[in-house]
Amino acid sequence: MTEITHHTLTSETADNAAKVSRREFIKRVIASGAVASAALYVYGGLSGCGRKGAVAGGVERLVSINVNGTVRRVDVLPQETLAMTLRYKLGLTGTKLGCDRSECGACTVMIDDVTHYSCSTLTHAVRARKVVTIEGLEGPNGELHPVQKAFVAELAPQCGFCTPGQVISAVALLKRNPKPTREEARFAMSGNLCRCGAYDNYLNAVMRAAAEGWHMAYKLLGKDFIPHDVVAKVTGRAKYSEDFRAEGMVFCRLLLSPMPHARVKSIDATEALKMPGVLGILTPDD
């Protein structure tokens, strides 16, 4: 994704305001968007974004990483995060991007059996280590991991977006502590946020997995019942809008004014339009 970093903003007090208020500016920009090309970021990888050939003091671009037991060769930029590599280079979209700043835990993976936020881990830092994502937990014939079974039995997911990270954190916990107390499980899972608030369900699933006492069904009017989408959620196969890609796809990025209670008098996008990959910029004037 190409980020527009150059902009010119000036501010005045409300009394000397220009015609476009900050509120009006934000409304119009939200309606229009700032369009930047991301075609180079998917399907062709990020290889076209940098200079060709070796760069003095740089790092090797084509690297080998062990993901889910398979060594994969991939072209990686020097500052590329593991989450970007997994999702957009290797197609492992079970690793979700929520906050993209090490706060929500949706991107959690295991590196040498230790949980890490892949959104803040550089891919070049894991070349000699073993990475496990939600896709690597299932057995060779598609059988669910015991933790995934417990998550299904407890109907732990609601929307399911945070579930892959929750499952990975639970697996890592039980690897190092097979019989945790509920408080120990709560602490171990505290790095994974659930915006649906299904924390008790996730904790129940962890304790069920630790006890190895699952019964993969819920009672519904006297019959065992498993919601049709819950397995997809605990395996990372559930797709959300960010997981879909199309060839030639472009992205919009919204740039807001950093000035609170100010008026935007002018926007100079000349330098931004010269940046590689930028297709166009829309402002309130458009």
What are the pLDDT digits (tens) for 4-20?
A: 444 444 444 444 444 55
Q: Which of 118, 112, 123 is nearest to 99 (CA)?
A: 118
Q: What is the mean pLDDT of the chain?
A: 81
On the question of pLDDT at 240 being above 70, the answer is yes
- Predicted confidence at residue 47, as pLDDT, reads 39
Residue 67 above 80 pLDDT? yes
137-191 pLDDT tens trace: 999 899 999 999 999 989 999 999 999 999 999 999 999 999 999 999 999 999 9
pLDDT of residue 37: 36
Range among 98-102, 104-108, 241-245, 264-268 rated most confident: 104-108
Of residues 109 and 55, the one with the higher pLDDT is 109
If we measure between CA atoms, which residue out of 207, 201, 212, 210 comes closest to residue 234? Answer: 201
- The rounded distance, in Å, linking the Cα atoms of 88 and 77 is 13
Quote the pLDDT of residue 271. 92
Can you give the pLDDT at residue 237? Answer: 94
- pLDDT score of 224: 64
Going by C-alpha positions, the residue among 163, 156, 170, 65 that lies closest to residue 113 is 170
Identify the band that residue 129 occupies on the pLDDT scale cut at 50, 70 and 90: very high
pLDDT of residue 11: 45
Q: What percentage of the chain carries pLDDT values higher than 70?
A: 74
User: Which tens digit of pLDDT belongs to each residue from 104-123?
Assistant: 999 999 999 999 999 999 99
Q: Is residue 3 predicted with pLDDT exceeding 50?
A: no
**Tens of pLDDT, residues 187-230:** 999 999 999 999 999 999 999 999 864 444 444 555 666 778 89
